[in-house]
Homo-oligomer: A and B are copies of this chain.
Amino acid sequence: MSKFTNNDLKKSIKNSLNLDTKEENRLDESYVVQDKQFNLSTELLSEANKNNHIELYNKYVKNFNRISAELDTVDRKSASSNFSNYRSLKIDETYNLNGVYLHELYFANISDLQSQISMDSISYMRLARDFGSFDAWQDDFIACCLSNQCGWAVTYYNTYLKSYVNCFIDLHSINVPFGTYPVIVMDTWQHAYYRDYLKDVKTYTYGMMKQLNWNIIEKRFNKAEKIATALRG
């Protein structure tokens, strides 16, 4: 994922796109992302659904890498709000970047058949603190799952409010707060549940909530707490 260790991958992407890699003074801000592997043993989703979903994710990675490479050399002088290659590429960069990031967070925090949350975990205590109770967090998170129009529900640490907050996103980049570190992610695009549940997003959501991987989530809360400390300092 680092832009420093992946120079070869980046160069090969640029070559495949016939993008000039030699030009002096060009920007060099492209980020190369590598596909991660996920092992989804949950029986709540069909194998067809799971395989399809992973392929969707792979496509976002591929798109993002290509956009990132093209952005290195796109003309910035003609950038404009109504019509320009720069604008179009940046919109697609954000869209596919969120597509990659949120999918990775989602795959990693679902499908835990031994799902269990301990009342003395940071996860539990922070959700209880910032939502009044763990159950109140859960009710609110589920409401976010049911309220987006093809999108996401996310619990995240808000760097402005200094608090954990739930939000939903439409598609990948509409209604998104700024200043965010995500800790719990649920995919509620129709592609996540239609094969197995048709429009019954409620049954999908309730089932998935029972298999949240609180070990993974606890690690994210630990990082979020370090961020909270850094921001107070």
Contacts and interface: CB of A to CB of B under 8 A. Distances in A.
A177 B177 contact: no
A45 interface: no
A175 B84 contact: no
Contact of A147 (B29, B79, B96, B227): B79
Contacts of A124: none
A92 B226 CA distance: 29
A3 interface: yes
Contact of A177 (B94, B144, B229, B233): B94
B177 A27 contact: no
A154 interface: yes
A77 to B, nearest CB: 8
Interface in A59-83: 59-60, 63, 66-67, 76, 79-83
A82 B102 contact: no
B199 A52 contact: yes
B140 A76 contact: yes
A161 interface: yes
A102 to B, nearest CB: 6
Contacts of A191: 190, 194, 198-199
Interface residues of A, number: 96
A136 interface: yes
Contacts of A99: 82
A69 to B, nearest CB: 12
Given A3-B161, A31-B161, A190-B194, 15 more contacts: A1-B160, A27-B136, A27-B140, A29-B132, A31-B165, A76-B142, A80-B147, A81-B147, A82-B92, A90-B167, A98-B178, A102-B178, A170-B171, A179-B182, A223-B231
Which 6 residue pairs are nearest across A and B when measured between Cβ atoms?
A: A226-B230, A176-B176, A88-B88, A194-B194, A28-B132, A79-B143
Given A98-B177, A178-B176, A231-B223, A29 B91 contact: no
